[in-house]
Amino acid sequence: MLILHGEDQVASREFFNSLKTQAGQSGKNILEYSGLGLKVTDLVTALNTSSLTGAATSIYITELFTRRTGADQQSIIRYLRDHPGCDVTVWEPKNISNQFKEFPASIVRKFDLPKFIFKFLENLSWPSLRLALNTSDPELIFHLLVTHVHKLIIAKDAAGDFPSWQAAKLKIQSSKYTFDELITMNDELLSIDFHLKTSQLPYDLNTALELWLMKNISPSYGEDTTEGRI
């Protein structure tokens, strides 16, 4: 059994898919389930039923631990906890380390985001963007930037329910901009997203991020790339 989770969804999902491909190439029977609707009877039956060809079965489940808590979910988790040697790989789209305390550490793999992304989000500057682009996919940076700007808008509006440490950092950073400036920054990111999804973006995403930064961030702002995280 193997559980994959963490904030770096791109890396964890790619690893999940590569394991599935390798298992298929080795002749195993591949079964895929969404953890959002999986029942414990289906899982137990799949694990204990041989394929028509006699090949071993390898099961791949997504979003089991992050589904809404219920009887089926808890029954599946208990079953997996009691059978750590079963051929099951679970993928979760975020960091949920607190849910794996009863599982052997050897079957849990966490995928952390590169620290330079957080440096960029906390210090929107040319140096931090270059470091982020050198170490991470622009799609991941863009996705997190959209989320982060949205958080800055919420913090500027004195809304939201952030942890106290995060709220303090967001408040300080959002004070660098007016509310209208943050709305403009968000609108331009949404425009990039639309043109990207409709194949109308006239340049690559790296360039789009650079142009967005050029339009919205003063060259002198954020030159201190002190390591931090929001």
With beta carbons less than 8 A apart as the criterion, state whether 91 and 60 touch.
yes
Q: Tell me, what's the pLDDT at 161?
A: 83
Q: Which residues contact 163 (CB under 8 A, 6 or more apart)?
A: none
Lookup result for tokens 């089926």:
72
CA of residue 61 relative to chain centroid, distance: 16
43, two tokens = 């899982």
Provide the edge-to-edge strand list for the sheet that holds 2-5. 29-34, 57-62, 88-91, 2-5, 108-110
CA-to-CA distance for 68 and 70, rounded, in angstroms? Answer: 6
| CATH numbers and ranges of domains, the chain | 2-110 (3.40.50.300), 115-216 (1.20.272)
What pLDDT does residue 115 have? Answer: 87
Tell me how crowded residue 158 is: count the other CB atoms within 10 A of its CB: 9
Q: Which residues of the chain have pLDDT under 50?
A: 220-230
pLDDT at residue number 224: 44
78 is written with which tokens?
Answer: 């208990």
pLDDT at 198: 92
CA gap 210, 220 in Å, rounded: 15
Separation between Cα atoms, residue 91 and residue 81, nearest integer Å: 16
Q: How far apart are CA 151 and CA 171, in angstroms?
A: 10
The pLDDT tens digits for 151-180 are 999 999 888 788 888 889 999 999 999 999
Can you say how many angstroms the Cα of residue 29 is from the centroid of all Cα atoms in its chain?
28
DSSP 208-223: HHHHHHHHHS-TTTT-
pLDDT for the residue numbered 228? 40
Q: Quick one: which of 82, 83, 87 has its CA closest to 61?
A: 87
Instruction: Report the distance separating Cα 229 and Cα 123, nearest Å.
Output: 10
Dihedral sign computed on CA atoms, order 127, 110, 13, 195: negative
Q: What pLDDT does 230 receive? A: 40
Supply the pTM of this predicted model. Answer: 0.65
User: Which pLDDT does position 225 carry in this prediction?
Assistant: 39
